[in-house]
Chain A
Amino acid sequence: MPRLSTRTILEAYQQDALLPLLLRECRTIDSARSELRWLRQHAIDLTQLRKEQRYQHLQHLQQARKSGQEHAPTTKQPHRKPTHHQPPENAPPKGWRRTLRTLCHARARGTPLQYLLGDQPFGDLTILCQKGVLIPRNDTETFTYAAAEQIRQHFPPPKPRPEPAFPSPPTRTLKVLDLCTGTGCITLLLHALLSPSYPSLKIVGIDIHPPALRLARTNLHHNVTLGDLSTRATEEVEFRRADVLASPAAAAATPNSHSVGQLPALEELLPRIPEFRTHHPQDTASHVLAREDEGASEGDGKGEVQVDVIISNPPYISRKAFLDGTTARSVRFHEPVLALVPPSSASSGMKSVEGVGQTQAEDVFYARILGLVGGVGARMVVFECGDHEQGGRVVELCRRAVELQKLGGSWEVGIWEDETVVEAGGDGEKEGACMVVMKQVQG
């Protein structure tokens, strides 16, 4: 990271004494100014809120005291200085500057802005953020929009019937599985984007970390209350706890692991979700392919599960990239390692994953998820990857998965490109995160 020039710092200081603090994280004056604006608004809101709370608390105390000495003459009125000068109605509450200074100092130490403000807008939704859960990134937002578009193209939504008087036949449910969901941002935004076109949806978010799941559920209710998500979401979105990396072999060894307290593997969890099961006889008839695949995977009882789309933004930072300065300081110190770096138990070097073959340690999640594709009969898989190099490796993994699992039909795998956007500041080279899409075009 290049050193900030004295001139920049001075210039920032002349604009606002707090700007140099923010400059440590933001690096440019423009971005620091934006952050200062957001922090200022938050400081004012926060101070106002605290003031109201204190006032309510005081009133509560007074009431308690009054009821305690019902008959005693209340001569002692709270003494207040007569104020000749009323502050204007919408003036910021006293003390907000101190709050702002505290916030700016915390930001200078690298605390992410979203943890300070408590939320992050994600599409039209507001995703609450909390220490210990990964913050939704702008890239992920872009990718989720693109993924929703791809899903709509790949699974054409039923045409709205012109005459709703006729009882419409029960439409097929679009089933989406979001692995490593974290705050639940992808799950919720997908629902917001897809629910207008699909009359029936089921989106399940999976995570291993209980606080993340709790936050995801809070986010669901928060956005439904705000009105940004339709009320259908409370039925159609679900968050479940599972260990994505837990191998099916281990799960098979302890068949009723959930009662022992160990985390269920995906193969165990998915059949427990009623919407994902293919128990309707007419439904199974239309998914002969999926059943054949189950037959191919030795029919170990885990079958009878069908999912249309798997989407995931798993931990993808390599141990090396986490430590060598590629990963920003703020991310390293303040965001959960669990959500960033695949676990070290998946030891460094090459690793073998069933159904995919050898992979590098940082790609272990992709390999594991690709190993599932055949079992659940997914026809589309979407991944976020750290950079184009990793994207290339994941594309290779996808091809190998198709080959090794003998997935039927022909599959199209590629890195998604946004043609309309030019990235200012970049030097034309492909940098930053990318999205890999794998879809079954025939079959």
Chain B
Amino acid sequence: MFRVPWVCSRCLVRPARTSIYQGLLLQRRTYKTDLSPALLTHARTLAVEHAALSTQLADSFDAKIAKRIGELAQVADTLKEWDNANETISELQSLLDDPKTEAELKSLAIEDLESSKLTLPSISESLKKALIPRHPFAELPCLLEIRPGAGGDEAGLFAFELMKMYIAFCSRRGFRCTIIKKEGGEGSAEDRLSEAVLEIETDGAYDTMRTESGVHRVQRVPATEAKGRTHTSAVSVMVLPSFPETGSGTDGAHGFDDPNSDYYIDPQEVRTEKMRASGAGGQHVNKTESAIRLTHIPTGIVVSMQDSRSQHSNRKKAWQVLRAKLAEQRREAREQELVELRRGAMGGVARMGRGDKVRTYNYGQSRCTDHRSGLTVHNLDDVLAGGQGLESVMDSVRTWFGDREIAVMTAEASINHEVQRRA
């Protein structure tokens, strides 16, 4: 007789499950990877521009031109590589097609042809990467604003956890991170937020963190729930560029004092309010009230700051946040314009704004899913500790950003191509 020892079904499943836990489930949506002729034409025009600017720079130095050349250099170099590879391939091909070629040479040519054909995809991949325009704020440090959305107390609790997650992430990555504003809700409960602003002072932090902008959804049984029901609440995270102090910035694009700059803020348009009780001032009283509220009148953006005991430093921080918010808003507006233009041409391009749900943290299933890249990580604790899990999610989103950018660019370039051909 068969005597099979009794084995719990769960134990049978477990080995399979651990592999799921360890290997992150990758379900990335990828776009087509081959280089379209339209994109290639685009790259060629950029390379021509690069060459023209280089000769111009040889005559007279200009910081702006030098910067533009730096941006284009990679495209030009990769394009050259691509051309070289293609040339080799065509030469080898002609060698093969030639009936007079010796057999020995032919076998060598076949080997060479194979190896050069293998390098082609990687070159085209890097060419595409080079073609993605740099984000205007990519090199800047950033501000991270966390606000609870729908979900009441539970949202505040989760907002606090998100803040801890980002702080842990920053310390793991070696980013300098300070809390410049932290407001708890009603009462002195330490573990819930009504608003928090983190400043991440490392250059390039904006590029790293910009995958985090959007609405983060949490599904769990909250600590405040008596009947064990799962709640869904939302926390919105906003990543804002943090600009260097005025005066030190030589960068024309981010000048605030220059009225022609995109990010110029007219001080006349900002109302500063000091929270101050009426009555005597100066030496007569010793008020510790140091809150400052800035209102940008044209847009109605209000920033209030009361964390520091010094009115001056509150005002400085409030200005920093206000500037960041306005810059982000203006950039978004411009992006929106572009999207409108594209939509007219190609009928709808997905755009993720900060109003869209980007990620779900599900405690019951211990998973974290990003809705943009479609990546699911089954180790929620690691994600919330700002560990490798979070990093892989962020990486997947960054890749998704790149893919999407390329898709848009390809579509646009092919439309231009079409238009030119018809004309």
Report the Cα distance A326→B270, complex, angstroms.
Answer: 33
Asked whether any CB of chain A lies closer than 8 Å to the CB of B275, the reply is yes
Report the Cα distance A14→B276, complex, angstroms.
Answer: 25
Residues on B with beta carbons closer than 8 Å to the beta carbon of A26: 288-289
Asked whether any CB of chain B lies closer than 8 Å to the CB of A142, the reply is yes
Residues on A with beta carbons closer than 8 Å to the beta carbon of B288: 26, 31, 34-35, 113-114
Q: Known contacts A420-B267, A424-B276, A425-B276; is A316 also within 8 Å of B282 by CB?
A: yes
Q: Known contacts A33-B188, A38-B309, A427-B278; is A420 also within 8 Å of B290 by CB?
A: no
Which chain A residues have a beta carbon within 8 Å of chain B's beta carbons?
A: 14-16, 19, 26-28, 30-31, 33-36, 38, 112-114, 120-124, 134-135, 137-142, 145, 313, 315-317, 321, 326-328, 330-331, 335, 339-340, 384-387, 420-427, 431-433
Query: Closest CB-CB distance, B293 to chain A, in whole Å?
Result: 7
Query: Closest CB-CB distance, A133 to chain B, in whole Å?
Result: 13
Cross-interface CB contact of A327 among B188, B284, B291, B313, cutoff 8 Å: B284
Asked whether any CB of chain A lies closer than 8 Å to the CB of B285, the reply is yes
What 9 additional pairs, Cβ within 8 angstroms, besides A121-B312, A123-B310? A16-B187, A38-B309, A121-B309, A140-B282, A317-B284, A326-B279, A386-B281, A425-B275, A425-B277
Residues on B with beta carbons closer than 8 Å to the beta carbon of A36: 188
Interface membership of chain B positions 277-304, coded 1 if the CB is closer than 8 angstroms to chain A and 0 otherwise? 1111111111111110100000000000
Cross-interface CB contact of A431 among B272, B281, B286, B309, cutoff 8 Å: B281
The reply to whether A327 and B309 contact each other, CB–CB distance below 8 Å, is no
Report the Cα distance A373→B282, complex, angstroms.
Answer: 25
Asked whether any CB of chain A lies closer than 8 Å to the CB of B186, the reply is yes
The reply to whether B272 and A421 contact each other, CB–CB distance below 8 Å, is yes
Cross-interface CB contact of B279 among A15, A19, A431, cutoff 8 Å: A431
Residues on A with beta carbons closer than 8 Å to the beta carbon of B309: 38, 113, 120-121
Query: Closest CB-CB distance, A72 to chain B, in whole Å?
Result: 47
Residues on B with beta carbons closer than 8 Å to the beta carbon of A317: 283-284
Report the Cα distance A31→B277, complex, angstroms.
Answer: 11
The reply to whether B276 and A432 contact each other, CB–CB distance below 8 Å, is yes
Residues on B with beta carbons closer than 8 Å to the beta carbon of A339: 283
Cross-interface CB contact of A386 among B267, B284, B286, B293, cutoff 8 Å: B284
Residues on A with beta carbons closer than 8 Å to the beta carbon of B273: 421-424
Report the Cα distance A34→B188, complex, angstroms.
Answer: 10
Report the Cα distance A401→B187, complex, angstroms.
Answer: 56
Tell me the nearest residue of chain B to A196, going by C-beta.
Answer: B247
Tell me the nearest residue of chain A to B271, going by C-beta.
Answer: A422
Tell me the nearest residue of chain B to A334, going by C-beta.
Answer: B286
The reply to whether B285 and A327 contact each other, CB–CB distance below 8 Å, is yes
The reply to whether A426 and B276 contact each other, CB–CB distance below 8 Å, is yes
Query: Closest CB-CB distance, B308 to chain A, in whole Å?
Result: 6
Which chain B residues have a beta carbon within 8 Å of chain A's beta carbons?
A: 186-188, 267, 270-291, 293, 306, 308-313
Residues on A with beta carbons closer than 8 Å to the beta carbon of B313: 121, 123-124
Total contacts A-B at CB 8 Å: 140
Tell me the nearest residue of chain A to B189, going by C-beta.
Answer: A15
Query: Closest CB-CB distance, B404 to chain A, in whole Å?
Result: 40
Report the Cα distance A12→B165, complex, angstroms.
Answer: 31
Residues on B with beta carbons closer than 8 Å to the beta carbon of A135: 286
Residues on B with beta carbons closer than 8 Å to the beta carbon of A134: 283
The reply to whether B284 and A123 contact each other, CB–CB distance below 8 Å, is no
Cross-interface CB contact of A138 among B186, B267, B271, B311, cutoff 8 Å: B311
The reply to whether B286 and A330 contact each other, CB–CB distance below 8 Å, is yes
Tell me the nearest residue of chain A to B267, going by C-beta.
Answer: A420
Cross-interface CB contact of A433 among B267, B275, B282, cutoff 8 Å: B282
Cross-interface CB contact of B310 among A15, A141, A316, A330, cutoff 8 Å: A141
Query: Closest CB-CB distance, B45 to chain A, in whole Å?
Result: 39
Q: Which of B280, B284, B306, B309 has the most CB of A within 10 A?
A: B284
Residues on A with beta carbons closer than 8 Å to the beta carbon of B287: 31, 138
Residues on A with beta carbons closer than 8 Å to the beta carbon of B286: 112-114, 135, 137, 328, 330-331, 335
Report the Cα distance A31→B187, complex, angstroms.
Answer: 13
The reply to whether A327 and B282 contact each other, CB–CB distance below 8 Å, is no
The reply to whether B278 and A425 contact each other, CB–CB distance below 8 Å, is yes
Query: Closest CB-CB distance, A33 to chain B, in whole Å?
Result: 7
Residues on B with beta carbons closer than 8 Å to the beta carbon of A123: 310, 312-313
Q: Which of B278, B288, B312 has the most CB of A within 10 A?
A: B288
Report the Cα distance A120→B312, complex, angstroms.
Answer: 12
The reply to whether A326 and B282 contact each other, CB–CB distance below 8 Å, is no
Report the Cα distance A384→B283, complex, angstroms.
Answer: 10
The reply to whether B283 and A331 contact each other, CB–CB distance below 8 Å, is yes
Residues on B with beta carbons closer than 8 Å to the beta carbon of A122: 310, 312
The reply to whether A15 and B187 contact each other, CB–CB distance below 8 Å, is yes
Report the Cα distance A327→B280, complex, angstroms.
Answer: 8
Tell me the nearest residue of chain A to B185, going by C-beta.
Answer: A15
Q: Known contacts A121-B310, A141-B311, A424-B275; is A432 also within 8 Å of B186 by CB?
A: no
The reply to whether A142 and B278 contact each other, CB–CB distance below 8 Å, is no
Tell me the nearest residue of chain B to A384, going by C-beta.
Answer: B282
Cross-interface CB contact of A15 among B188, B270, B275, B285, cutoff 8 Å: B188
The reply to whether A422 and B283 contact each other, CB–CB distance below 8 Å, is no
Residues on B with beta carbons closer than 8 Å to the beta carbon of A421: 272-274
Residues on A with beta carbons closer than 8 Å to the beta carbon of B272: 420-422
Q: Which of B187, B283, B285, B308 has the most CB of A within 10 A?
A: B283
Report the Cα distance A36→B190, complex, angstroms.
Answer: 12
Query: Closest CB-CB distance, B269 to chain A, in whole Å?
Result: 10
Report the Cα distance A439→B273, complex, angstroms.
Answer: 29
Residues on B with beta carbons closer than 8 Å to the beta carbon of A316: 282-283
Q: Known contacts A145-B312, A421-B273; is A139 also within 8 Å of B281 by CB?
A: yes
Report the Cα distance A14→B185, complex, angstroms.
Answer: 13
Report the Cα distance A112→B293, complex, angstroms.
Answer: 25
Residues on B with beta carbons closer than 8 Å to the beta carbon of A321: 280, 284
Residues on A with beta carbons closer than 8 Å to the beta carbon of B275: 30, 424-425
Residues on A with beta carbons closer than 8 Å to the beta carbon of B276: 423-426, 432
Query: Closest CB-CB distance, A103 to chain B, in whole Å?
Result: 14
The reply to whether A328 and B187 contact each other, CB–CB distance below 8 Å, is no
Tell me the nearest residue of chain B to A340, going by C-beta.
Answer: B283
Query: Closest CB-CB distance, B183 to chain A, in whole Å?
Result: 9
The reply to whether B186 and A30 contact each other, CB–CB distance below 8 Å, is no
* A-B pairs with lowest CB-CB distance, top 8: A432-B281, A433-B282, A121-B310, A16-B188, A15-B187, A424-B273, A328-B285, A433-B281
The reply to whether A432 and B282 contact each other, CB–CB distance below 8 Å, is yes
Query: Closest CB-CB distance, B397 to chain A, in whole Å?
Result: 30
Report the Cα distance A331→B281, complex, angstroms.
Answer: 12
Residues on A with beta carbons closer than 8 Å to the beta carbon of B280: 321, 326-327, 386-387, 431-432
Report the Cα distance A424→B270, complex, angstroms.
Answer: 15
Q: 15 A-B contacts, Cβ less than 8 Å apart?
A: A16-B187, A26-B288, A26-B289, A30-B275, A34-B289, A121-B313, A135-B286, A137-B282, A141-B310, A326-B279, A327-B284, A420-B272, A422-B272, A424-B275, A432-B282
